[in-house]
Amino acid sequence: MSVPARAQVVPVDGGSVRGSEWNGGHLFRGIPFAAPPVDKLRWKPPQPVIPWKGVRDATAQPPSCIQNSQDWNYSDYLIGNEDCLTLDVRTPSMTGKLPVLVWIHGGSNRAGGPNDIVLSDVGKQAVIVGVRYRLGIFGFLSHPALTAEQGGSGNYAIMDQVAALRWVHDNIARFGGDPANITIAGESAGSQDVSLLLAAPAARGLFQKAIMESGTPGFGMPFRSLKDAERIGMQADDLLKAAGSIEKLRAMSVPALLAIDLKLHDEAAVSDAMMWLRTTVDGKLLPNDPRTLLEQAPPRPVIVGTNRLEFGSDRAHRDQLIALTFRRNEAAARAYYHADKPNPPDDPRLGSLDEQIGTDITFRCPAQHVAELISGKGAPVWRYEFDAAPHRGKTSHAAEIPYAFGDSHFANGLQLKPYWINFIRTGDPNGGDLPRWPRFTPAAPAHVLFDDSSVTPLGALRPEICSLTEWL
């Protein structure tokens, strides 16, 4: 039986927190799960929470992690702070053993925050935890001096997420959550980070299943070696005239580091906007490349999905993208796309040629490879493609989120939310009167298309082109 909603004081690691009543349940905001990553702790793995005295107020909007403004993230930019390693907990009941959803927000690993999903009505049926993690140069910088100091460097943001998962495992029962029934989920960069948590040995045992919406390890880009990552760190070092001193870099102002973050270049990335989406094999959190680590990881149920159209590149980068992605299959890929014909026609749902290429190589085909790998280990995998209602125009990146966590629905009334809730509860999205969603298996690489017509079971997604790509 649920407890009537009222302000609650809960003991957690570090002290006690007081939340607020919210929408028939309870909401706790800005609970620290690690020490502030500032001063001497900048670019170090997350350290234990610093205990506090008394009851900490957990009712106000906490700071987002420090970030540059990209316009869409302006509200997070305005409240950015380097001291940001906190999480929010939304629970419908302080008792029982409710399933738990841990949300890893998107934003290219350099912007955003978890504020919206924590307030979703999914939180009426499960405990939702929203995690803040270091972003951009603060969360992903590698540097020779850091490697010498720590035996590896970079991926501090993913370490933050592991620390948050450890906090959830140890504390969530006090909020009515079941530590043995935790689902991690994310979209875009958050989905990529979920895939890295599936791979990372340090995260094993901290969750049971995962939802990946439009993001995989490296987004189809070749994995970055530690040496290459350190060279990018030395770009920052040179621009800041730190002369190789990590002490000088740790003493730099936040505005100086944010400005430098926009100037760093990685010639192997699709664009510098994706600088922190190209996965670094740091030798510590990721002791091997993500493909190898996923092959070694325990099998866990996973939803893997992409949108019919995510976003594209541009004509100026078309040839480079095809060559970088398809390598020895470049000629076959160019023929498939009719890339050498003038003015290739748009597809009404897949978009222009460059939108098709961008979605295929960055999202659709990498997701197919991940589904093949995970299902090949015997894990239950459900693959989807989402296509928003045609009267709203072409689908776009992140368009599925309000269907999965909000109130948006197709013309037939269908939402993704019931499937997501079933999966969060049981590890299987099917149940009730929902149209059947068949599993993806190596022998039958099925997916479902969510669109206005229904839930349509189909076979492999774009096999003609995805078969020409491979893990790097």
| Interatomic CA distance for residues 367 and 186, integer angstroms | 14
Backbone angles phi, psi at 183, to 5 degrees: -110, 130
Residue burial 276-296, b: 16+ Cβ < 10 Å; e: rest: bbbbbbbbbbbeebbbebbee
Burial class (CB in 10 A: 0-12, 13-18, 19+), 449: middle
The helix/strand/coil state of 323 is helix
Beta bridge partners of residue 381, listed in sequence order: 302, 440
Strands (DSSP E) along 35-110, which ranges? 55-57, 64-65, 80-81, 86-91, 98-104
Single out the catalytic residue among 64, 120, 188, 313. 188
Q: Check: CB of residue 217 under 8 Å from CB of residue 195.
A: yes
DSSP assignment of 362-377, as one string?
IIIHHHHHHHHHHHHT
* Tokens linked to 323: 């060559």
Q: How far is CA 436 from CA 200, 433, 449, in A?
A: 32, 9, 12
Backbone angles phi, psi at 362, to 5 degrees: -95, -30
| Interatomic CA distance for residues 70 and 73, integer angstroms | 6
Whether 188 is catalytic? yes
Single out the catalytic residue among 143, 169, 369, 397. 397
Strands (DSSP E) along 188-313, which ranges? 209-213, 224-225, 280-281, 302-307
Angle of the 226-239 helix axis to the 254-261 helix axis, nearest 10: 120
Q: How many CA atoms lie within 13 A of 392 on its CB side?
A: 13
* Tokens linked to 240: 């800041």
| Interatomic CA distance for residues 55 and 422, integer angstroms | 36
| Interatomic CA distance for residues 28 and 13, integer angstroms | 14
The contacts of residue 393 (CB under 8 Å, 6+ apart) are: none
| Interatomic CA distance for residues 115 and 118, integer angstroms | 6
Q: Check: CB of residue 250 under 8 Å from CB of residue 194.
A: no
Whether 143 is catalytic? no
| Interatomic CA distance for residues 411 and 390, integer angstroms | 10
Single out the catalytic residue among 310, 355, 372, 385. 310
Whether 397 is catalytic? yes
* Tokens linked to 210: 């995962």
Residues classed as catalytic? 188, 310, 397
